[in-house]
């Protein structure tokens, strides 16, 4: 499936009904704060030639308390709606949970850190 087909599916779908799936690895510390491990290189030649010279093949992206909780809630079975409802109970002080989470998941999707079951199945 190409980019335009995926984009068409996302435009038609209700974002709260989508089911996110993690694509990249993460590290979790003792406080349940998540650091996403983004590969430095995607190009195969760069991986072979440059990656061995680096300390780590990953860039660590540290998430805040809400982002960490949202990332840990992604299990491939829960929809964005269910994750938002759970996090609303957990972080009652947060306002506009649905808007914030949809923006967060949109960013993760655009950076190829997650995908959605509805897209992966097609």
Domain ranges across the chain = 3-120
Task: Quote the pTM value.
Answer: 0.82
Phi-psi region of 70 (alpha: psi -120 to 50; beta: other; left: phi over 0): alpha
Distance CA 66, CA 94 (A): 9
**DSSP-based three-state secondary structure for 58:** strand
Q: Do the beta carbons of residue 33 and residue 65 sit within 8 Å? A: yes
What's the pLDDT score for residue 5?
77
Residue pLDDT, tens place only, 45-65: 766 767 667 777 788 999 999
What's the pLDDT score for residue 38?
87
**Lookup: tokens for 47:** 């991986």
Distance CA 53, CA 37 (A): 18
Intervals of the chain under pLDDT 50: none
What's the pLDDT score for residue 79?
94
Q: What is the DSSP letter of 57?
A: S
Distance CA 66, CA 49 (A): 37
């Amino acid at each position: 499936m190409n980019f335009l087909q995926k984009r068409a599916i996302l435009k038609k779908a209700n974002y709260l009904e989508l089911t996110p799936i993690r694509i990249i690895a993460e590290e979790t510390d003792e406080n349940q704060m998540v650091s996403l491990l983004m590969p430095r290189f995607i190009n195969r030649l760069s991986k072979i030639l440059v990656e061995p010279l680096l300390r780590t093949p990953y860039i660590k992206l540290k998430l805040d308390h809400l982002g960490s909780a949202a990332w840990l809630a992604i299990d491939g079975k829960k929809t964005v709606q269910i994750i938002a409802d759970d996090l609303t109970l957990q972080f009652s002080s947060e306002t506009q949970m649905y808007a914030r989470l949809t923006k967060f998941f949109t960013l993760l999707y655009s950076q190829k850190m997650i995908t959605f079951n509805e897209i992966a199945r097609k």
